[in-house]
Amino acid sequence: MLKQSLQQKLLQKLSPLQIQVIKLLEIPTTQLEQRIKEELEKNPVLEMEGDSRDPDDEEDNSTETDNEKDEMSIDAYIQNEDIPAYKLSARNFSKDDKQEDVPFSSGTTFHEHLVSQMGLRIMTERQALIAEYIIGNIDEDGYLRREVDEIIDDLAFSQNVEVDEKEALEVLEIVQDFDPPGVGARDLRECLMLQLEKKNQDDPLIQKAYHLVKNHFEEFTRKHYDKIEKRMHLEEGELKDILEEILKLNPKPGSSYSNPVTKTVQHIIPDFILEIEDGKPKLSLNNRNVPELRISNTYSEMFEDYQANRKNQSKEQKEALMFVKQKLDSAKWFIDAIKQRQNTLMTVMQAILDYQYEYFLEGDETKLKPMILKDIADRTGLDISTVSRVSNSKYIQTHFGIFPLKYFFSEGLQTDSGEEVSTREIKRILQDCIENEDKRKPLTDDKLAKILQEKSYNIARRTVAKYREQLNIPVARLRKEW
Instruction: Please report which confidence band the pLDDT of residue 97 belongs to, taking 50, 70 and 90 as the band edges.
Output: very low
Listed in order, strand segments (DSSP E) in 19-115 are 46-48
Say what angle helices 384-391 and 16-26 make with each other, to 10 degrees.
40
CB contact set of 112 (below 8 Å; sequence gap of 6+): none
Whole-number percent of the chain with pLDDT over 90 = 19
Q: Contact at 8 Å (CB) between 272 and 285?
A: yes
Q: At what angle do helices 373-380 and 315-355 cross, to 10 degrees?
A: 110
Fill in the DSSP letter of residue 201: T
Residues in a beta bridge with 404: 395
Q: How much is the pLDDT for 255?
A: 77
Of 220, 225, 114, which is closest to residue 177 (Cα–Cα)? 114
- C-alpha to C-alpha distance for 383 and 175, rounded to whole angstroms: 34
pLDDT for 106: 45
How far is it between the farthest Cα atoms of the chain? Answer: 100
User: For residues 378 and 387, is the Cβ–Cβ distance under 8 A?
Assistant: no
The pTM is what?
Answer: 0.48
Average per-residue pLDDT in the chain? 78
Instruction: Kindly give, in sequence order, each residue whose CB lies less than 8 Å from that of residue 343, ignoring residues fewer than 6 positions away.
Output: none
Question: How many angstroms separate the CA atoms of 227 and 234, rounded?
Answer: 10
Residue 222 and residue 235 in contact, taking contact as beta carbons nearer than 8 Å: no
State the pLDDT confidence band at 319, using cuts at 50, 70 and 90.
confident
Measured CA to CA, the distance from residue 214 to residue 211 in angstroms comes to 5
pLDDT, tens digit (0-9, with 9 covering 90-100), for 434-451: 988 888 888 999 999 888
Which residues, in sequence order, are bridge partners of residue 415?
457
Taken as a whole, the chain contains a residue count of 482
Q: Is 312 left (phi over 0), alpha (psi -120 to 50) or beta?
A: alpha
Greatest mean pLDDT among 18-22, 257-261, 313-317, 374-378: 374-378
Overall average pLDDT of the 427-437 stretch: 87
Angle at which helices 315-355 and 384-391 cross, to 10°: 90
* Phi, psi (degrees; rounded to nearest 5) at 369: -80, 155
Query: For 202-225, what is each residue's pLDDT tens digit?
Result: 899 999 999 999 999 998 888 888
Strands 395-398 and 272-277, by their bridges, are parallel
- Which range has the worst mean pLDDT, 87-91, 225-229, 475-479? 87-91
> Strand 280-285 relative to strand 272-277: parallel, antiparallel, unpaired?
antiparallel
- Please state, in angstroms and rounded to a whole number, the distance separating the CA atoms of residues 111 and 262: 12
- pLDDT category of residue 419 using cuts at 50, 70 and 90: low
DSSP state of 288: T
Q: Which long-range contacts (CB under 8 A, 24 or more apart) does 162-167 make?
A: 163/130, 167/130
Residue 337, pLDDT > 90, answer no
d(CA 299, CA 56): 12
* Interatomic CA distance for residues 427 and 414, integer angstroms: 14
- Residue 175's pLDDT is 92
- For the chain, the straight-line distance linking the first and the last C-alpha, in angstroms and rounded, comes to 81
Helix H or strand E encompassing 161: none
Is the Cβ–Cβ distance between 402 and 395 less than 8 Å?
yes
Whole-number pLDDT of residue 468: 87
pLDDT tens-digit map of 37-95: 888 888 888 888 765 544 444 444 444 444 444 443 334 333 333 334 433 333 444 44
- DSSP at 471: T
The backbone region for 279, taken as left when phi is positive above 0, alpha when psi lies in -120 to 50, beta otherwise, is left
Of 174-188, 237-251, 280-294, the range with the lowest mean pLDDT is 280-294
- Return d(Cα 436, Cα 286) in angstroms, integer: 42
Amino acid at 327: K
pLDDT tens digits for range 13-39: 566 667 777 888 888 887 888 888 888
- The one-letter code for the residue type at 344 is T
| pLDDT value at 169 more than 90 | yes
Q: Enumerate residues 6+ apart whose C-beta is below 8 A from 447.
A: none
Confidence of residue 105 (pLDDT cuts 50, 70, 90): very low
In 333-356, which positions are buried (b, 16+ CB within 10 angstroms) versus exposed (e)? bbbebbebbeebbebbbbbbbeeb
What letter represents residue 124's amino acid? T
Rounded-to-10 torsion of CA 241, 242, 248, 252: -160
Give yes or no for residue 263 having a pLDDT over 60. no
Tell me the pLDDT band of 347, cut-offs 50, 70 and 90.
very high
